[in-house]
Amino acid sequence: MGDTFGRQGGDPMEMKNIRLENIGKNYAKAQVYDHFSLEIEGGKITCLLGESGCGKTTLLNMLASLTPYEGKISNVPPRISYIFQEERLLPNLTVYGNIRYVLGKDADRDKIMDVLEKVELAGKADAYPKELSGGQAQRVSIARAFAYPSELILMDEPFSSLDTGLKIRLIDVFCKLWKEENRTAVFVTHDAEEAYMLSHRAVVLKGGKIAADIAAEGDVPRAYGAPSKYREEIIRALLGQEKA
């Protein structure tokens, strides 16, 4: 398994950069990537942006070894948390049960309740997925990813169905957790504001190539709405404009 996908066990203390080299990826009809390379900095939050259908989810799936590809991806740590674009909750388990499910032997009631509290869902611990709203289900998926001890966290539009207030609070929560445990994070979003608040680097994809690669200075989370050159550059790249 490890060899097929070029996966290696990493030292959790020292987060290595994840390297994608010469990646080729085709689906039956579409070529998504061709000779694509990217280095994802260990212990940092990298944001992926780009038009719908440009291959962001595909990239996360390749990192998680969920889809085959050509080329080499190295230094992927052994344990991965993944906030999928959909919630992917087991319908037969409660909110609490769904988080417990991924923790296995490590499951600890206090830890699960604590993370549910952080995503403001402690009151829904015993609810079944069908009883949740879209945003609540999404938060369970976020809680599951946070609770699972991993060295890499993949997030596919995790805040897409949340209101602004909740989104900002969850970005704060994420940053706290991220500082405590220092995971490498890859964060997909359509929203320049989210990218600006919660990333150290924004990579804009277009047609299977890197259209822009913007580094930011300073600490996350950044203040909502504050003027920033980083955000301006992201927006300009998303609009396909050249650097001013």
Partner 1 sequence: MKVYKRLINCIFPILVVAAIFLAWWIAALAINASLILPSPSESLRAFFAYFGEASFWRAIGNTMWRSLYSFVFSFVPAIVFALLANRYRYARKLIDPFIAFIRSVPTMSVILILIIWLNPKIAPAVVAIIVIFPTLYSSFSAAVSSIDAKLVQMSAVYRVSMAERIWKLYLPNMAPGLFEGSASGFSLNIKLVIAAEALAHTTASIGSMMNFSQALLETQDLFALTIAAVILSVVCEWAIRLVGRAVIRWK
96 is in the binding site of which of ligand ATP, partner 1, Mg ion, none (Cβ under 5 to 8 A by kind)? none
Q: Which H helix or E strand runs over 230?
A: helix 229-238
Q: Say if residues 146 and 183 touch (Cβ distance below 8 Å).
A: no
Q: Which two tokens stand for residue 112?
A: 């699960």
Q: Which one, 205 or 214, has the nearer CB to ligand ATP?
A: 205
Rounded distance, CA 242 to CA 14, Å? Answer: 36
Q: Least distance in Å: CB of 155 to ligand ATP?
A: 12
Rounded distance, CA 103 to CA 111, Å? Answer: 10
Q: Which of 46, 57, 98, 141 binds Mg ion (CB under 5 A)?
A: 57
Interaction between residue 138 and ligand ATP (CB under 6 A) = no
Binding mask 141-170 for ligand ATP (x = CB under 6 A): ------------------------------
Interaction between residue 9 and ligand ATP (CB under 6 A) = no
Closest CA to 95 of 104, 87, 84, 86: 87
Q: Say if residues 127 and 139 touch (Cβ distance below 8 Å).
A: no
Q: Is the peptide bond before 221 cis (omega within 30 degrees of 0)?
A: yes
Q: Which one, 59 or 99, has the nearer CB to Mg ion?
A: 59
Interaction between residue 90 and partner 1 (CB under 8 A) = yes
Interaction between residue 166 and partner 1 (CB under 8 A) = no
55 is in the binding site of which of Mg ion, partner 1, ligand ATP, none (Cβ under 5 to 8 A by kind)? ligand ATP
Rounded distance, CA 78 to CA 53, Å? Answer: 28
Q: Which H helix or E strand runs over 169?
A: helix 164-181
Positions that interact with ligand ATP (CB under 6 A): 27-28, 30, 32, 50, 52-58, 85
Positions that interact with Mg ion (CB under 5 A): 57, 85
